[in-house]
Structure 1
């Protein structure tokens, strides 16, 4: 059974009250045993029990582990622990200002006056002194808090025998350099600034002039600490570049008597490397300030105390070295923790108890900042917040940086001066005669309250800093109007001020002056706009009066011109088709000129017709052949039945005289898939051969099928083959008891086709990938003549009859196409009788009739084609006319294309996949391959490929006599 806790004697002491509240927190958590708490907190049960024993204050880590295990508020207990630690310290009650004679400097960097108590960096200081003796330019890099400023100011500068100019660049680095050089040379700042800005060698000349006047053989060492301010505070890129060039020139010039040392925060190394001159100078001129070794840390901790007549407890020394070794940027917090421990020293000894009472290593700085901030009332806290934000620059890809400000930026408010004095006495701020800055950037990272302020509105802080700098420029230029904010910058600053920003008196005066100037400018613009509007109104009235007198005359002239243009354009296109037989290029350009003169469906289609005639290529398939055109218009199969072979023509280059011609075995019948990838040929020996023709010049035989076919047909996707024993071109007139043999082949595996007999039905065509149309002739009780039967062959092994058509003409033919354009799945065309054709849906739900999609199409058709999505239907008739219809509005043709006279009959049509180009093959006097660009601009481009000739100028004068010549392609 666990032992009961020792009762507490509630004497009102802070330590006992702290222990009592810990026990109360444990009770609220359900009074878990200390063994259970140890499991949760990862500390021993004895350690946790002692924490609530009331005899001594536990460490912050143990106290917070106890609180977390009981579900308490960590932030609240952290503040509570620091308060108790301060009250129970051995020398509690000493004022914050009690720093006189302290052996440690706290947050601020060691300066020249602190050289006697600067220990631990002797080896690095010797190395830096040796490097500056050899090289004229040295850069000291180190993380924030690594001690680089202390190394330069307390380790290097006091040991130099030369004249030293040490400064930080600030917002105007050349001006800062001029101020310090003028003080050393006893000259006016204005004259020195003029010399520095007039020439990059100005600093070099000033150094030599100064040393000559002093009659000295020595040199000047220019020390620029916190060099990163060049990127955080100086926003003038030109001034920044001039300052860098000025330093490097002074160090590298012939006869130079100047050496330069810069101290740079390590995270700004990439910004330095972006300057080519500085990057070159840094190649072999770097000293890196890294973490201190344990021996160096021990000297830095113990030697200042020994000089002050104090000792450092061994336990404290061990704890401090363990906390500090290997950690970057912690030296300011170490120095501050030592200072606070010295304030709580026991006699002449710095003890571990005093260190813990100060808030330990990470808490000492927070404890100091919070203790001072906690003494302020609400107004002073708001002033302190604004002050710390002014002294900090939000990083852009780097850590946040401290910012030095002029004391005059704070104004004359005595309450502000009081807050500054208290923060300075606590060594949180460092104040010189005319400037103020944070004691160290470590405060930015270590103080949670400041970090929260910074994260709350980082963009607002950047706006505030810009306002401050702009107000300073305005002051320096004696309230020049050109220095006021305008446009977007003014709008951003005004929004910041209206949303809770806190500008000081000078900034508010500057912002008010900018707003007043903006309002004056807007008022002047409004007056000017009103004057302009009145002038414009008068001019408009005068123009309307003048225009009204010419409207009647010009409208009559325009109407006459339009009527003349229509007549000339129609006269030109009437002759263009016949002209295209002899001079196709001239005919195409003449049609283009007519279209430009009067755009209309007639002139547009004539342009498409003549441009296609200009792109016509001869085609010589032979007398005993019939062409089969692929659905994408890229391949033509020419079957030669007498020779039992099929020629494969590639139209890819639209020049069949040079196109590859490859012979395939079998010439009785041929078929090709819609994508020009697969072909099938029927041979005289009763076999069907499948071919891979994706490379037309190198067709590859895939399989030979045992059959006795008269015709073959491939589905558009090439997956199903139908072979029949009767020829289907033209279709045979067979009776219903025909014994024609039809075989369906499943080509899913093209090397192992599977066939099934499909008896007694002559093949007509595929209507889509999985719909087969067959025909049957004869007379039934309800029907006389030929009918089309629609079969679902999605499963080739078991075809299913889904419907019948009412076509009356047994000499007609049928084609089909899957449609992705409308709600219909497939559309087809078949001959109805009397020289008309019916377009209908060939894949309805299971029914005995096929609903028609459109009215009949008149004429004797020689070729039919659907676009890839089934939206457009192209038909060619016996008089050489091609009509393109929208399948939804068939009685309103989209295009009417005419072939030149005696060009022959079109035997095949196909749309290219994009639907904007139609390919055709004609037989007759001049067999040809045609290619019509249905897009007007593409047709115009084709017409203009032939250039301008004298003939087109002559034809222009003939057809457009009253119109000045203007090249239709110009």
Structure 2
């Protein structure tokens, strides 16, 4: 039983959220049930995760306000169990006050607790209820009374504590937040006092608001939240950034700088020691950069003065001075460019066109990698498209979206430059696992326990293909989808050709993954050997032809066109290795990237020209023939997923299932950005510099 499931959207980072959702949906089965409760205003976010859409289909209960009789039972039942009685007048008044209101039980609970403190013997009376302030004022009165009796210093600490325990809503209502005790710079005596007043709850190592109703019932807290809403959001982002900094061993590249650092510095008084350490490290790094720039400037000034004295005799030294001044100007411009790129990155989600214009200006002032990354990402966000209720994956031969009527998938076929509806897939309990390169056949998985094969040749009438019993979990297909590999329950690899009556079992044990080669000439197996997985190539008739690689267990292997395969090891920081196995000699490593998160996902160009890997922090593209890096983007915080690659054009989905097309051709991106009006407040972002021409003359 998982209560307050909405906290997975307010407290978890993307990796933890995906892990928890997959763990819960995988745990449910014939012998176990998983029940989650989620606030109605967060229900829409559940639909962004295919596993939850599948799990919630025909398995949901909408909980509305309690009926009058249910309220009476909820009030009188516990009292009778405790040997107490409730005046008839109190019961009638209480039911009348709360009847028909949603989410009112926390207020009822607190009001009855306060009425019990004012009981007559073992009788809860109407007079005690009114003395407590009634349903509208009991909780606020308790909170206000407790706050009024604090010292001046404790009031300031209490204000910061309550605000830290709140997540400001973004299109949803505000919600409470669970915070580790170690992250609170609050005296134990104050925590105990607030807990005794039942305003907060202290667990073994965390603190949270006792009643989420406190956010609405206590006017003082509601006023604090309204006054500090922007600062609260900034503080929560700083808390997440502090966690990333700590997780990466205090990597200086993860520190704030520029406008975000200035904003964070204004929040110092409300930060805990860990967050202040993160802020101080950022300020120290910024100070060091400024001092280095000042030292450079002073040296240049002294040098220029000396050159002025010797100018007549040493005219040539003027060239040296000009070079040094140019270097100082370049360093200043690079610092301003980085700062503007940071500001543009913060605008991508809300104003992508403005973000692209600001990133272009930053790139024109100094062509830093950061400015280029933000320009490419903002350009992609500005051109984002969607279809239906959102793409399930970037479209290719066809598009697929959520089908609200059947809880399956709606297929779409191309009609010139637009899409028109085709057939529907009854996949309410399953999700796409793999498809053939020609996209005419696809494998769907149901909770990692069953698999189905679909024929998508006729998009108006997709049909399920029957597979032999005992084939196991289908895992991959060749280019045309006529040859499949599967994993048996006995950890053996199976190979089956569509239309055949028999299934071939390869003589290999301890198999944990399979991938049939695109040309259908063999199969790549991942076999567990101790704490490692051996990646081996086998023929269809059961002969092992070589071991390609050894990687830490567990590993996932995927086959692409032209003999390309990708092996991703998920132990600790994930590592993806891309191999070219087409040649007759030893396999060639095309690319290897480490430090990935658990969302790491490779993608192949259908012609085998390029390969890409994306995760929650970045996107990378390599030339498959030479291994040369064609694109490296930092996408931290944008939650891009489901890559599809065509040459150097990378299509991805964002957190709202809209499709972005990331174009690695910077020249083309600049031309397309300049096709729209491009305006930037130059002197605000680049003070003391000469305005650069943003777009080429036409």
Greater strand share, structure number: 2
TM-score, normalisation: structure 2 = 0.45
Greater helix share, structure number: 1
TM-score, normalisation: structure 1 = 0.33
